[in-house]
Amino acid sequence: MGEMHVPADAYYGASTQRAVLNFPISGQPMPRRFIRALGMVKRAAAQTNRELGLLPRRRARAIAAAAQEVVDGKLDEQFPIDVYQTGSGTSTNTNANEVIANRATEILGGERGSKLVHPNDHVNLGQSSNDVVPTAIQLAAAIAIHDELLPALERLQRALDEKSKEFWPVIKTGRTHLQDATPIRLGQEFKGYTGQIEESVRRGRAAIDELLRVPLGGTAVGTGINTHPQFARLAAARLAKATRLQVKEAPNHFHAQASLDVLVAVHGALRTIGTSLWKVGSDIRLMGSGPIAGLGELRVPETQPGSSIMPGKVNPVIVESMLMAIARVYGNDTTVVVSGQAGSIFELNVMMPVAAAATLESITLLAASAHNFSERCVEGLQATDRGPELVERSPMLATALNPVIGYDEAAKLAKESMRTGRSIRQLARARGVTEKQLNKVLDLGKMTKPGLEGPGGGG
């Protein structure tokens, strides 16, 4: 394709520079986590090829050392190619081959550009962009979920569980359809939130399991042409040891690199985790609304002034930040679904780089916002007296009188309570319900657990 001018201090070569010129799209290079995983794949490949007798020991060691520098981030500036590039990610795989080959050549005492270590014949030995790139994507996502997202979710789960215990004595008005319902403990609400995050942790772990069945070894179209029959198994074992995760060769290479089904499924789990966080954050924001004209059942930590014009105003900004991050995750989910659907053509998906960037961004956003939500919001939440005050005035307490005066009469009391502002207890007493009966059926604690002595069902 002719000569190509490459910066004198670059480790990459003509193919990388040509890609830089071909894709001046966003100025956003591939994510650091992906480049790190790509370095891990190249290191494992070199070590495996040495073990199989396909690479001389000295050359393999130099390639592994250069690949380790990629893993460590020492060569990040040598990966300038835009996310919006070759759909298979071939440009970035070639970029890695060139960088590692030139750095390995230097390690061996050779001159950069001399191809003492060849980018294709040596660094890319037994590989293709078509199996290396999806392997690096899956590896990067699995590590990110394991190292970033799960710890953040586990911290949030613990924080919510502690608040559930702390808030257990607080009995407040339950709400369905945004209308008053029967009483509930504030701690029970937080127990529900804890359960959502517990399920989010489970979904994160299940996503890791899917990601760890990697397509490395399928080379161009899944057949494994130009690779040793034992290469994939041995390289996966090395990746497992390096990551301390159960990396395994995909049982079906044709499926593994012809589709992005794994990423679509994994991002579906990320979307669900985001939806759980949205629910928890939104409820806390609503319960903290006010402090006078809103619900005011929770006191949200004051993190910064809320207005440039209204003195003393404090807003639930930590929740707002998290909800915006989740909105971005929803957008990324659409990107991944479209990439999986529209990019999978015959033996290869050709929308891998953008799916990788979207997935890794979603993991980072969910991890950071969940951690921040725990630290700057949930752990500092306080219950106010507002919830217990409102529950005593709630007309829905009439539900507890169903077994005593019947549904129709209880409904009349509820409507009268809403019209007059008098409590259910006062109105029932005036209707002749004895104090003993009132104390029995309007025992708020009993109304927050199963039992036949209390109210009937409702919705």
User: Do the domain assignments include residue 389?
Assistant: no
CATH number of the domain encompassing residue 202: 1.20.200.10
At 456 the pLDDT is: 46
| Alpha carbon distances (Å) from 45 to 72, 125, 185 | 17, 8, 57
At 32 the pLDDT is: 98
281 and 371 inside one domain: yes
What is the maximum span of the chain, computed from C-alpha positions, in angstroms?
101
Whether omega for the bond prior to residue 403 falls within 30 degrees of 0, making it cis, is no
Sign of CA dihedral 423, 424, 426, 427: positive
**Domain boundary residue, one of 354, 383, 412:** 383
Tokens of 203: 């979904």
- Find the catalytic residue in 253, 307, 394, 423: 307
- Beta-bridged to residue 244, according to DSSP, are none
Q: Using CA atoms in the order 352, 354, 355, 358, what is the torsion angle rounded to 10 degrees?
A: 160
> In order along the chain (459 residues), what is the average pLDDT of each group of 10 residues?
87 97 98 98 98 98 98 98 98 98 98 96 98 98 98 98 98 93 95 98 98 98 97 98 98 96 98 98 96 93 77 86 98 98 95 98 98 97 94 82 90 90 89 88 86 54
CATH number of the domain encompassing residue 31: 1.10.275.10
User: Please, are residues 359 and 266 in contact by the beta-carbon 8 Å criterion?
Assistant: yes
Choose among 360, 335, 364: nearest CA to 136: 360
**Domain boundary residue, one of 125, 150, 172:** 125
CA separation for the pair 134, 238 (Å, rounded): 17
**Helix axis angle, 261-287 to 317-343, nearest 10°:** 160
- Find the catalytic residue in 26, 122, 128, 177: 177
The residue assigned the tokens 């894709």 is 23
At 459 the pLDDT is: 52
DSSP state of 220: T
| Alpha carbon distances (Å) from 392 to 173, 188, 292, 388 | 9, 18, 18, 7
CA triplet 27, 85, 216: central angle to 5 degrees? 120
User: Do the domain assignments include residue 5?
Assistant: no
282 and 237 inside one domain: yes
110 and 203 inside one domain: no
At 308 the pLDDT is: 64
User: Please, are residues 71 and 40 in contact by the beta-carbon 8 Å criterion?
Assistant: yes
- The reply to whether 307 belongs to the active site is yes
Q: Tally the domains of the chain.
A: 3
Query: What is the domain range of residue 217?
Result: 131-383
Choose among 113, 81, 79, 111: nearest CA to 96: 79
pTM of the full structure = 0.93
276 and 404 inside one domain: no
228 and 329 inside one domain: yes
238 and 359 inside one domain: yes
